[in-house]
Amino acid sequence: MAMSCTRTTIIVLIAISVVLFFASNKEVAHEKVTFTRINDETGTLQIASTSYSVSIADSDEERTQGLSGTASLKPQEGMLFLFPQADYHPFWMREMRFPIDIIWIDSSWHVVGITKEARPESYPSLFYPPAPIKYVLEVPSP
């Protein structure tokens, strides 16, 4: 009997988490993203009326390094991760020094979700997108 209560509790908590995730992300869900590559290392990305200056991580080494060890970012700065194919690519906060928002973007350049305030102390936990993604934008949490 205790086992079924525990399972029920876990299922209810998961359901509540999913509802809260989508409720907190409705402002960005399905927003179209516009990306302009300036050179091999930088670009600009626009989501709704917000524009970001981004560094690009498009190799395995750059994606693994990410923002690890970076001291800080300005509010309109970020890092854009480009993957060769869409999948449930996980992210971690290894050697991060500040909290970030992780914006999950599908292969059609639409926002499919956001993980707000991913904190350095969450490492080694992994953050997963709500759907297969091909791009990820990391920006400093407000």
Residue 1 has pLDDT above 90, yes or no: no
Beta-bridge partners for 80: 56, 137
Instruction: Name the residue ranges covered by the structural domains of the chain.
Output: 28-140
Compute φ and ψ for 112, nearest 5 degrees. -110, -5
Burial status of residue 111 (CB atoms within 10 A of its CB: 0-12, 13-18, 19 or more): buried
Residue 42 reports pLDDT greater than 90: yes
**pTM, entire model:** 0.80
Beta bridge partners of 42: 55
Mind listing the pLDDT tens digit for each residue in 81-134? Answer: 999 999 999 999 999 999 999 999 999 999 999 999 999 999 999 999 999 999
What class is the 28-140 domain?
mainly beta
